[in-house]
Structure 1
Amino acid sequence: MKSKIDGKIIAGLGLAVGILLLTAAASFWSIRGLSVQTKRVEHTYQVMQQVANVAAVLKDAQAGVRGYLLTGDTLYLRPFSLASGMLPTSLERLDQLTADNTTQQARLDSLRALVEQEFRILRPLTDMNKSMNKAALQTLLDTDRQTLRQVRLLYDRIQQQEMALLAQRSALQDVFEKATPIVVLVSAVLAVIIVVWLVIKIVKELADNRRLQDELAEVNQQISRRIAQIRSLAEQVVQGDYTVKISDEADDNLGGLAISLNRMTQTLESSFSALEKRNQELDQFAYVASHDLKAPLRGVTTIVKWIEEELSAELSPQLRTYLTQMKGRLSRLEDLINGLLAYARVGRTAQSVSTVDVSQLLNEVAELVVPPDFTLHLGPNLPVFATNRLGLQQVFTNLLSNAVKYHHRGAGQLAVTCADAGRCYEFRAQDDGPGIAPEYHQKVFLLFQTLRDRNTAESTGIGLSIVQKLINEHQGKIRIESAPGQGAAFIFTWPK
């Protein structure tokens, strides 16, 4: 909407500016035309004035000479003397004024020739000392009259030509005088109309924009309210309440999302109800496994001990071997049952959070699972933070006991260090044991997967599965860096 309004405003302003420029151009053209025609009219008047001056001065010179001839008074020769100085200048001025008119230039040449002829006639008459008979004098006077008659005729033609030009130029001057205010007035009216139209359009667009903004604000409030309902449902689902529903039946995307979320909560409720039932069955299985299976297992183990104790003298070496193997199998079976129970309980017991000093925790674990001939090195940056102590203790217990259990020598070096990884701590449990080939880096975390012979006691293949499950329950990750003969490093992250 904003770009649309801006476009219309710019277009309207551009049109208004264009009209104003056109008005200015038209006014300039009219005023300039008026000025030009005014100058041309003045020019015509100047030509007419100059021609009249030439005729008048020439006539005064003739009259002065005639007065001199009649009276002999040299005072009458003054107009002739003045004409001698004025006429060349006047003729030169006329030549400049009619430079753009070839017809007048030709007539001006004729006028110049007549003026020179008139001076040639009058000049002898001004010399009283020069003797001249009556016949010669009469001839000069007659020639003088004829010359002046030709001057008057030529003067009339020049005047007629200039009067025609004056009429034409005056007509054009009148046209420009009348057109200039009309052009200015029409242009101003057009500019006012454009500006008024532009203001009306801007006001209308602004009103439409405000109305649309109000509608968008109302829609936004509705959407915000519906999204808040969806967010509230999500929060309640996160907290474990799967019975919550959204009462939104609008026929749009949010309404469809509300229906889908209602179906999801219904499905989750059914799924978690079934899962809770399965967990109860698993708890029952764990109870049976820990009591109904371990009780006869302990009974068989007791019977084997009784046989060894009461019939020790009658047992052959072969039978003793069989009894030893049986005790080993029974011990391994008990370890498997205990491991399965421990694996099943991961994530099902309440996780109490307390402040844990990792260095102190590792020392306690080392007292339980690290033999005296092994050395445990603790890094300098082991943290103290609030977390699930039991879970972290189980992880370190399994990692350190595995490092001891699978070591290929009687003694070894163990090390635990820590690095800050942002929202998590990254722990590294390193040993100098036989190492693990890269192809087994993922397999060792699977249930019942072990790198030792299955007949070897203590090799249940559950310890690292428990470690991985505990770390996953705490949103951490675990990986292995190892190669045969180079020891193994178990690196895992634990949230702060």
Structure 2
Amino acid sequence: MRLSTLIFLGFAVVIVLSLVDSYVNNLLSDKVNQNIAFLTRSESVIRNSSRLHKGIIEMQSGFRGYLLTDEEEFLQPYFSGLKTIPKLIKEQRALVKESDVQSRKLDSIAVLHHEWVIYANSLIEAKKESLRKSGVSQRYQFLFENKLRKQVGKKINDNIYNIFRRFDRLEYQIREIRRNQLLQSIDRTKTFSLIFSMLTIAVGVISGIYIIGLISRRIKQMVKLAESISKGQFILVSDDKNDELSSLSNSLNIMSTELSKNISELEKRNNELNQFAYVVSHDLKAPIRGIYNVVQWIEEDLGGEISSEMRKYLNIIPQRINRMEDLIHGLLDYARISRDKPVKEVVDVNLMLNEITEMLVPENFRIKIGKMPVLFTEKIRLEQVFSNLISNAVKYSTGQSPLVEIQILEKSNEYEFKVIDNGIGIDRQYHAKIFEIFQTLREKHDKESTGIGLAIVKRIIEEKHSIIKVESESGKGAAFIFTWPKD
């Protein structure tokens, strides 16, 4: 499966869980809002019920006060209730319209209250008529005996009271149920939100860890392959995932295969060249030695017959022969670097440098050697490097107090050595050229200047996967700096 598909699926699962979470929360929130709305409406129902019941009671109290005292002032709550009670009943009917039970109870209260109003109006009119005639009218007497004394109004009021009590009790019961439902809805909302949040986080984290781990493992394989290639180990990485990274794996495998092929071809050519240089250099010794012998025979046979001019030319020939032998030896040494594999041994660098300087550095030189380490390395190779660099420092020395100084700097995996002299120095334009084979700053006739020493040093250093460079200016001495692995 492609990485983009895996990433898409991971995001898709997270998005789906988020959508489900949002949907469930929305449903639960709707229930919470419904319960909150009901409780709010229920509070209004209870509040209106109290106002309605209180208004009816005040009408009843005013009615009774008027009948007892004949004072019309007591009728003010009664007439006020005739206006407000219908409005309150209408408001209450709108609040309980969703409950058939409560609506029926409210309708019963309205009917009973209407009956009581008819009953009260008849008595009030009869009472007023009696007060105008200054005596008890027959109508009032009839109503008093048949209605008031028989407690018709009281029975209506008792029914109204009982209905109000049942109405309020039922409303409180429903309100308690809805309150519990509200609390349950809130708890359920919290629970589902927590569950879906944890699921979303878990899926996101697991998907991320899986995808990152998959990519990391693949990249580590490729890094390992790249490191192996850099070390000359041209292995191949197995990759059957067929995703975006597969093309990179295939490219690395192709590169490894091609490099292996090219390196093999290069090593073959290099070996052929080294063999050629070794054979040619070795075979050149015989004719050169023959030329030297011929010159000696001429000097012996002719003796005093040789003119001074001719002897001058004959003296030049051995110099050129010696230079040629030095070049051949240098060339053999250069070719032998790749052919020979010296064994490693424990090397006291300080002792080795003392032996080299004692052999190569004249007595008039000042020598400074830092505190050198003990290495487990190829002694012959390290000796060649120091010998060539110290020999160069001696060759190009000038002045009254020539100096050869060797410093060291320890690094994490290697040592950095510095061979310093106060000789003629090297112009910047020659810093790269001096490491090329047969390149020298001395004249060609100088027997000591073969131009191979620094080339040998550079090749040895590069064989160790280390570096060498020079810091110098003309007339200000030179410092050759190279690194050498600790192990």
Tell me if TM exceeds 0.5: yes
Taking a change above 3 Å as real, the CA distance of residues 383 and 8 of structure 1, as seen in their structure-2 partners, is farther
Separation of aligned partners in 2, 1:432 and 1:218: 61
Separation of aligned partners in 2, 1:249 and 1:169: 81
Query: How many angstroms does 1:258 deviate by?
Result: 5.0
SS at match of 2:305: coil
Query: 1:322 aligns to what?
Result: 313
Query: 1:332 aligns to what?
Result: 323
Separation of aligned partners in 1, 2:323 and 2:302: 25
Which one of the candidate residues 465, 471, 477 is aligned to 2:455? 465
The answer as to whether partners of 1:374 and 1:414 remain within 8 angstroms in 2 is yes
Please tell me the residue identity of whatever aligns with 1:330.
I
Query: 2:168 aligns to what?
Result: none
Q: How does 1:31-430 map to 2 (within 5 A)?
A: 31-46=43-58, 48-50=60-62, 52-53=64-65, 55=66, 58-59=69-70, 151=71, 159-173=78-92, 176=95, 181=174, 188=181, 251-257=242-248, 259-379=250-370, 381-409=371-399, 412-430=402-420
Separation of aligned partners in 1, 2:350 and 2:239: 54
SS at match of 2:451: coil
The answer as to whether partners of 1:477 and 1:492 remain within 8 angstroms in 2 is yes
Separation of aligned partners in 2, 1:272 and 1:158: 116
**Identity rate of aligned residues, in percent?**
35
Query: How many angstroms does 1:434 deviate by?
Result: 1.8
Residue range with higher mean Cα deviation, 28-37 or 227-236: 227-236
2:55 paired with 1:27: no
Post-superposition Cα deviations, 1:218-266, rounded to whole Å, max 9, x if no partner, equal: 9977995x77887887788678776x66665664445445544554454
Between the two proteins, the alignment pairs up a number of residues equal to 399
SS at match of 1:346: helix
Query: 1:448 aligns to what?
Result: 438
The answer as to whether partners of 2:405 and 2:421 remain within 8 angstroms in 1 is yes
Please tell me the residue identity of whatever aligns with 1:472.
E
Separation of aligned partners in 1, 2:407 and 2:214: 53
Please tell me the residue identity of whatever aligns with 2:343.
S
Separation of aligned partners in 1, 2:457 and 2:95: 105
SS at match of 1:282: helix
Separation of aligned partners in 2, 1:240 and 1:492: 23
SS at match of 2:471: strand
Please tell me the residue identity of whatever aligns with 2:42.
S
Bigger Rg, which one: 1
Query: How many angstroms does 1:349 deviate by?
Result: 2.1
Query: 1:475 aligns to what?
Result: 465
Separation of aligned partners in 2, 1:426 and 1:205: 56
The answer as to whether partners of 1:415 and 1:430 remain within 8 angstroms in 2 is yes
The answer as to whether partners of 2:461 and 2:484 remain within 8 angstroms in 1 is yes
Separation of aligned partners in 2, 1:231 and 1:482: 39
Query: 2:421 aligns to what?
Result: 431
Query: How many angstroms does 1:284 deviate by?
Result: 3.0
Separation of aligned partners in 2, 1:229 and 1:479: 35
Please tell me the residue identity of whatever aligns with 2:81.
E
Residue range with higher mean Cα deviation, 1-10 or 417-426: 1-10
Query: How many angstroms does 1:190 deviate by?
Result: 13
Please tell me the residue identity of whatever aligns with 1:159.
Y
Query: How many angstroms does 1:172 deviate by?
Result: 3.6
The answer as to whether partners of 1:23 and 1:187 remain within 8 angstroms in 2 is no
Please tell me the residue identity of whatever aligns with 1:166.
I
Post-superposition Cα deviations, 1:82-117, rounded to whole Å, max 9, x if no partner, equal: xxxxxxxxxxxxxxxxxxxxxxxxxxxxxxxxxxxx
| Structure 1: unaligned runs, 5 residues or longer | 60-150
Separation of aligned partners in 1, 2:479 and 2:220: 47
Separation of aligned partners in 2, 1:281 and 1:448: 20
Separation of aligned partners in 2, 1:212 and 1:494: 47
Taking a change above 3 Å as real, the CA distance of residues 404 and 161 of structure 1, as seen in their structure-2 partners, is closer
The answer as to whether partners of 1:34 and 1:176 remain within 8 angstroms in 2 is no
Taking structure 2 as the reference length, what is the TM-score of the superposition?
A: 0.67
Query: How many angstroms does 1:14 deviate by?
Result: 6.2
Separation of aligned partners in 2, 1:481 and 1:269: 36
| Structure 2: unaligned runs, 5 residues or longer | 1-10, 99-170
